[in-house]
Amino acid sequence: MNEFHRVLEEKFKIPEEKIYSKVSSFKENLEYIKPKNAIPDICKDKDDNNVCQLAEYITANYIITGDKAFQEIQNFGNIKIVSPRDFWIEKNSQFN
């Protein structure tokens, strides 16, 4: 949640009062999961390893991120690591 808050504030320049509203709404719809698998050590940013751990645990198909360093990994096992734009293009090309 801290990362979500930070990105809304720093990257998208959303005012604090709107961030509080969005974070509160987001929290109401969360499902907290405690993965039982090991945390991998593949990312430069150690927090991204937690994302990989969760993605593996829930057998995700994609990790969608704007983080360029994270995108450079491209794959974690069978999980594709893509930008939001690349995900959109890939998914929409299936319908053309």
Domain ranges of the chain: 1-30, 35-96
Q: The pTM is what?
A: 0.77
**E strands along the chain, which residues?**
62-64, 75-76, 79-82
Q: What is the DSSP letter of 50?
A: H
* Mean of the per-residue pLDDT values of the chain: 90
pLDDT in tens, 19-65: 888 888 888 888 889 999 999 999 988 889 999 999 999 999 999 99
